[in-house]
Structure 1
Amino acid sequence: MTDSDELVFECTLDAPPEKVWRALTMPEYLQRWLKPSQEIDMAVVTAEENVSLTYRWREAGQAAVVGMEDSLVTFELGPTTDGGTWFRLTHAPLVVPVAANSNQAIMLAA
């Protein structure tokens, strides 16, 4: 995978990692913070409390559509010296392009 295959956003937040973790994992907070559309299916793939969380992200009802890609959205958290949180969001496709002379896509195991 190349850097252009994923979207990465980094910043610091004025809240401790525990509070950011709650915003990412509790449905009522997640709804307010990320506002995921009803047309998005999200499922937890991996989680390490207060450190990292990965969701599988897919448009609802698209499971049977050929060529429709799932993606992974990963949140990484770390404490900052001032009590805040270093925050990194990575949104990456599960299908990685292969050589131009191939008509196949490789699926990454999640």
Structure 2
Amino acid sequence: MNVTAQELRTVIVERDFPHPPEKLWRALTQPHLIEAWLMQSDFRPVTGHHFNFRADWGAVDCVVTEVEPQRTLAYTWSAYGLESVVTWTLEPSAAGTHLRMEQSGFRPDQEQAYQGAKFGWQKFFGALEQVLAKEAA
């Protein structure tokens, strides 16, 4: 199926957190913290690192594509025919940190994956808030 870039869809979730970027960065890059709000992984914040997320429903194969400590993190997200990219952007704000997650690459025929991501990332962000509230500064 030939799909143009204009036909691809993106899920974006943005939220302000009352925590410094360093704290959010730890939650996005340390495997024991990632597991607490997202999934089990063998993640390392190193460009080119191959890793996967594991859950009871299966696994997601990923490769780190961009690492700019406490500012930007990106990795591919491949599962069940979905080839997408997840990009995290952290911006310091007066209240703490503005966190933006963008998952791009959903084809028109991947409506279920697209809707699942829209729902799932909201849930993950809620879990991330709880992990951050418990973590020491």
Q: Determine if the TM-score, normalized by the shorter chain, exceeds 0.5.
A: yes
Q: Looking at CA atoms only, which structure, 1 or 2, has the larger radius of gyration? A: 1
| 1:37 matched to 2:37 | no
Alignment-derived partner of residue 80 in structure 1? 93
Give the aligned CA root-mean-square deviation in angstroms.
2.5
Across the two proteins, how many residue pairs are aligned to each other? 89
Residues 1-110 of structure 1 correspond to what in structure 2 (within 5 A)? Answer: 1-2=5-6, 5-35=9-39, 36-38=53-55, 39-59=59-79, 68-82=81-95, 84-93=96-105
List structure 1 segments (4+ residues) > 2 angstroms apart after TM superposition.
Answer: 1-4, 35-38
Higher helix proportion: 2
For structure 2, the residue ranges without an aligned partner over 5 or more in a row are 40-52, 109-137
For structure 1, the residue ranges without an aligned partner over 5 or more in a row are 63-67, 97-110
Deviations 1:70-98 (A, max 9, x none): 1100000011113x1101000001879xx
TM-score (norm 1): 0.69
Output the CA distance in 2 between the equivalents of 1:55 and 1:73: 5
